[in-house]
A and B are shown apart, each in its own frame.
Chain A
Amino acid sequence: MSFPASVSTLNNYNDLYPDWTQREVSTGTTIMAVEFDGGVVMGADSRTTTGAYIANRVTDKLTPIHERIFCCRSGSAADTQAIADAVTYQLGFHSIELDEAPLVQTAASLFRDMCYRYREELMAGIIVAGWDPRRGGQVYTVPVGGMMTRQPVSVGGSGSSYIYGYVDSNYRPAMSKEECLKFTAEALTLAMERDGSSGGVVRLAVISEQGVERQVILGNQLPKFSTV
């Protein structure tokens, strides 16, 4: 079956309706997660864009999947919300069957299965992080395309390109929780300064055996770097 070459002819736009009323909502984004001994630190910016308009300047991109498993979402807002809802359901069901807290690797596998199977239809880059009793704090990255791999530090989203150098040079293994928080906040701030699709506030989450602690760093409280 062949389809018309440009499906966009189905919708007739004119000057009355600016570009951003038609464009899909994207989470632009900078997201990050770091493992430490005893848990993980996750961070994200809070900007959602449709074209050049910021549809939501206080988005929460750190989405709970289970009690001690969260995911950072980047890419299409609709795709990532739908995937996260589906995985939350599947993981909840699995956890009840098992009568145990699910593994972070299980959650990551569920994300990977969905992102790989529907890779042509989806635009989703997801970082899955959390704590489980078997392997402690873990960070798994599931980028666009559906690969899944565990990493001690992972960054994602359009703003991540600007901070690979900073992350590679400043990460040390065996950092404490507070050092990880500072590291994440600074990396996200730098990315938000340079990436137009990232901005707003910095949302942080620390997941450990004790549970989840969430923080927000508002614009005026962000770490300051030299302004050139």
Chain B
Amino acid sequence: RRIMATVSVCKYYPGGFSFDNCKRNALLEADISKLGFSSPAARKTGTTICGVVYKDGVVLGADTRATEGMIVADKNCSKIHYISPNIYCCGAGTAADTEMTTQIISSNLELHSLSTGRLPRVATANRMLKQMLFRYQGYIGAALVLGGVDCNGPHLYSIYPHGSTDKLPYVTMGSGSLAAMAVFEDRYRPNMEEEEAKRLVRDAIAAGIFNDLGSGSNIDLCVITKGKVDYLRPHDVANKKGVRTGSYRYKHGTTGVLTKTVTPLNLEVVEESVQTMDTS
């Protein structure tokens, strides 16, 4: 009896970017601006993310600020995403894009792993991510730092929104990447010990947090070694919320009342309907 080998249950893509929604989007943009509103800005993760390969594995780091325009939308968001038990991925760029992209690849990779009967490899995750991002020609704004340990050792990749990837011993991404890279270029050495690697990543993210407006709050770390993952959230609360030195409540009677006018509104009941609540 022949059984066909299963493949990942991925949707078959007929090829190329689907432009179906472009016309609709253009009309919506035009309609919204005609009414005088501005379409909501996509929440971006601003961000400093980075990764380093050390003696026993990889250390991934990220800040925890998510911005919507100039406002901090989330002071403690999680930017280190799970891909598989041995692979994690930091995401910078549009928050929704990084979240969904990593979830889709995580799902497909689990199916692929069940099909092969093996622990997934970082190179596989890299291929899946780059092929998906290339297919969308950069419109999925996901800039990723992918790291993990597999049967071939520790690996670290940086993945750009247009679908290009680089395999390197240390990488940084996001608006704070220049600050973080400055720290790496100064202090990185091959085959560091775990504590030194964690200190280096912590300091690189801190450089991003304190020198880049798009990054802030805490530092999350993820240490991946063969057989073990330490997800340290938060590893370092770099920005503790201050304690107010006094009470700023005003006492009753602080504002004097000059006049008081009461106007009763005479409303007539037009229609009354009763909707029973189902409490069973």
Seen from chain A, the residues whose Cβ lies within 8 Å of a Cβ on chain B are 1-4, 9-12, 14, 16-18, 21, 24-25, 48, 50, 53, 55-56, 58-59, 76-79, 81-82, 85, 121
Docked pose: A227 CA to B232 CA in angstroms = 51
Nearest Cβ in chain A — how far from B133, in angstroms?
A: 8
Interchain CB contact under 8 A, A25 and B70? no
- Indicate whether B162 reaches chain A with its CB closer than 8 angstroms: yes
Interface stretch of the complex, out of B23-31, B221-229, B257-265: B23-31
Q: Which residues in B have their C-beta under 8 angstroms from that of A55?
A: 158, 160, 166
Seen from chain B, the residues whose Cβ lies within 8 Å of a Cβ on chain A are 19, 22-23, 25-26, 29, 41-42, 44, 46, 67, 69-70, 127, 130-131, 133-134, 137-139, 141, 143, 158, 160, 162-166, 168, 174-175, 177-178, 213-214
Docked pose: A50 CA to B67 CA in angstroms = 23
Interchain CB contact under 8 A, A81 and B163? yes
Interchain CB contact under 8 A, B160 and A78? yes
Interchain CB contact under 8 A, B164 and A81? yes
Docked pose: A58 CA to B29 CA in angstroms = 42
Given the known inter-chain contacts A16-B213, A59-B166, please indicate yes or no for A81 contacting B44, CB distance below 8 A: no
Q: Which residues in A have their C-beta under 8 angstroms from that of B158?
A: 55-56
The listed residue (A1, A18, A53, A56) touching B166 by CB distance below 8 A is A56
Nearest Cβ in chain A — how far from B96, in angstroms?
A: 13
Interchain CB contact under 8 A, B160 and A77? yes
Interchain CB contact under 8 A, A14 and B166? no
Docked pose: A12 CA to B127 CA in angstroms = 29
Q: Which residues in A have their C-beta under 8 angstroms from that of B41?
A: 12
Interchain CB contact under 8 A, A16 and B163? no
Interchain CB contact under 8 A, B44 and A17? yes
Interchain CB contact under 8 A, B166 and A16? no
Interchain CB contact under 8 A, B214 and A17? yes
Q: Give 26 CB contacts A-B under 8 Å.
A: A1-B19, A9-B29, A11-B141, A12-B69, A14-B69, A16-B213, A17-B46, A17-B214, A18-B175, A21-B175, A24-B138, A24-B162, A25-B162, A48-B164, A48-B166, A55-B158, A55-B160, A55-B166, A56-B166, A76-B162, A79-B162, A81-B130, A81-B164, A82-B130, A82-B163, A85-B127
Interchain CB contact under 8 A, A16 and B214? yes
Using CB atoms, name the residue of chain B closest to A5: B26
Using CB atoms, name the residue of chain A closest to B127: A85
Interchain CB contact under 8 A, A56 and B168? yes
**Nearest 10 CB-CB pairs, A to B?**
A77-B164, A78-B162, A78-B164, A78-B163, A4-B26, A56-B166, A16-B214, A25-B164, A82-B134, A25-B160
Nearest Cβ in chain B — how far from A13, in angstroms?
A: 9
Docked pose: A81 CA to B130 CA in angstroms = 9
Using CB atoms, name the residue of chain A closest to B166: A56
Interchain CB contact under 8 A, B178 and A58? no
Using CB atoms, name the residue of chain A closest to B214: A16
> Which of B130, B166, B214 gathers most chain A CB within 10 Å?
B166
Docked pose: A171 CA to B67 CA in angstroms = 56
Nearest Cβ in chain B — how far from A32, in angstroms?
A: 22
Nearest Cβ in chain A — how far from B125, in angstroms?
A: 15
Nearest Cβ in chain A — how far from B267, in angstroms?
A: 45
Docked pose: A211 CA to B105 CA in angstroms = 37
Docked pose: A17 CA to B175 CA in angstroms = 6
Using CB atoms, name the residue of chain A closest to B169: A58
Q: Which residues in A have their C-beta under 8 angstroms from that of B164?
A: 25, 48, 76-78, 81
Interchain CB contact under 8 A, A3 and B214? no
Q: Which residues in A have their C-beta under 8 angstroms from that of B166?
A: 48, 55-56, 59
Known A11-B141, A25-B162; 5 more pairs at CB < 8 Å: A12-B42, A18-B175, A21-B143, A77-B162, A121-B137
Docked pose: A11 CA to B25 CA in angstroms = 12
Docked pose: A17 CA to B174 CA in angstroms = 9
Docked pose: A62 CA to B141 CA in angstroms = 28
Docked pose: A14 CA to B214 CA in angstroms = 11
Q: Which residues in A have their C-beta under 8 angstroms from that of B165?
A: 81
Q: Which residues in B have their C-beta under 8 angstroms from that of A53?
A: 178
Nearest Cβ in chain A — how far from B93, in angstroms?
A: 8
Interchain CB contact under 8 A, A3 and B26? yes
Nearest Cβ in chain B — how far from A192, in angstroms?
A: 19
Docked pose: A76 CA to B161 CA in angstroms = 12
Nearest Cβ in chain B — how far from A201, in angstroms?
A: 14
Nearest Cβ in chain B — how far from A4, in angstroms?
A: 4
Docked pose: A38 CA to B69 CA in angstroms = 60
Q: Which residues in A have their C-beta under 8 angstroms from that of B25?
A: 10
Interchain CB contact under 8 A, A16 and B67? yes
